[in-house]
A and B are shown apart, each in its own frame.
Chain A
């Protein structure tokens, strides 16, 4: 409706490209693999009769749209650093099909987008406990006993708490991972006092920090030919793994010097 009253084809095109730029950069930032972002964006574009082309770089996206009159408009957007979010991935992908199948107007797509983005994430406390249980199970898979599992559970809760608190203060991502790995492993070094599989406990206590999603996404990107974004995701993940190793080595140097 709004489109008819506005009537200016150029500002309409600008609005469409602007929305798709926001949509695509949000998806890229929240850990969706590149080919899906491109596909979804083009699908929304075709629903609005705009041909969309994306050039995706590690920190920014160039979005260009061409309408039925052959007029084109392009924008460069920065990719925000969002937490990884599979629910948005599923919902916003479904939104692109909804727009395509129902030929929704831009205003309505934007409204649905805002609604879906406003959905709350899982409760942080619940996530923390689930992560603790997950890491304890991991300890079990690597041959830890029940005492070690208990220690890893506690250590993960502590490490996760430290990570969440420091993240709220806006600490640098890498320093945050070093601090969280140090905190979790220091906590799990209590297992050295007890008669248990303390080696497994120490090593698994930091594994909840391993950036598994970017590692898999990076390889998926490379397999699908988006080599630039793939390598950048893998590089970021390797940097984080190095930070985890630094945090853990700090603990090992303190509590278990004979191991070194």
Chain B
């Protein structure tokens, strides 16, 4: 039990570090950092739990995680006047299936290296297609999960950066 909990917490921790680091390349505002870390940890740990202990596939797991991040960024963003995507995109970055994208591309490179050997070629083509499918659908579910809250509550999502006191002054 303790092992399970510590595995989940460790996964969340490393996801948070990954989100901050990859996010930092895209220059998020400093005030958003703690919220990005929290959202990334919650989303990635949820996906890890679903996939490891409940046998959920990677696309469904990613959808659950990205919905959590999407709704979470909506709840957390207003206080710091950040659009939802400023928090949700960095928080989603650790779940981008970079490894699958890379494996897919690598198999295509190898496909041409072994073009004369039909059996090996077929194996590389299979790997390329499988990893490519995972890449496309995981990114699609990540984006869909992050966008759904915006589509559901547009008036709330579009006024995230509006300052309330300005309205009173006006």
Contact = CB atoms under 8 A, between A and B. Distances in A.
Interface of A: 31-33, 36, 39, 83-91, 93-94, 96-98, 101-103, 121-122, 126-127, 130-135, 137-138, 140-142, 203-204, 206-208, 210, 212-213, 215-220, 223-224, 241-242, 244-246, 248-249, 260
Contact of B161 (A93, A102, A242, A246): A93
Interface in B10-32: 11, 13-15, 17-29, 32
Given A223-B143, A241-B101, A246-B109, A36 B85 contact: yes
A220 B146 contact: yes
Given A90-B161, A101-B162, 9 more contacts: A85-B27, A86-B28, A86-B90, A89-B86, A93-B161, A101-B170, A102-B169, A141-B14, A244-B105
A249 B106 contact: yes
A93 to B, nearest CB: 4
A79 to B, nearest CB: 17
Interface string B140-162: 10111011000100000011111
B1 interface: no
B98 interface: yes
A45 to B, nearest CB: 16
Contact of A212 (B20, B27, B93, B113): B93
B122 interface: no
B21 A207 contact: no
A83 B14 CA distance: 26
Give me the 5 closest cross-chain CB pairs, A-B, nearest first.
Answer: A134-B21, A219-B143, A245-B105, A137-B14, A210-B98
B96 interface: yes
A137 B15 contact: yes
A90 B26 CA distance: 12
Interface residues of B, number: 59
Contacts of A248: 102, 106
A176 B86 CA distance: 26
A133 B83 contact: no
Contacts of A218: 143
B94 A138 contact: yes
Contact of B24 (A127, A219, A246): A127
A64 to B, nearest CB: 22
B134 interface: no
Interface of B: 11, 13-15, 17-29, 32, 44, 81-83, 85-86, 89-90, 92-94, 96, 98-99, 101-103, 105-106, 108-110, 113, 139-140, 142-144, 146-147, 151, 158-163, 166-167, 169-170
B22 A134 contact: yes
Nearest to A135: B21
A30 to B, nearest CB: 9
A93 B81 CA distance: 9
A50 B148 CA distance: 31
A203 B105 CA distance: 12
A241 B105 contact: yes
A119 B82 CA distance: 16
B37 to A, nearest CB: 11
Nearest to B26: A84
B102 A244 contact: yes
Contact of A216 (B13, B44, B99, B142): B142
A65 to B, nearest CB: 21
A87 B27 contact: yes
Contacts of A249: 106, 109
B98 A212 contact: yes
Given A31-B26, A219-B144, A242-B105, A86 B14 contact: no
Nearest to A134: B21
Given A90-B83, A98-B163, A98-B166, A141 B25 contact: no
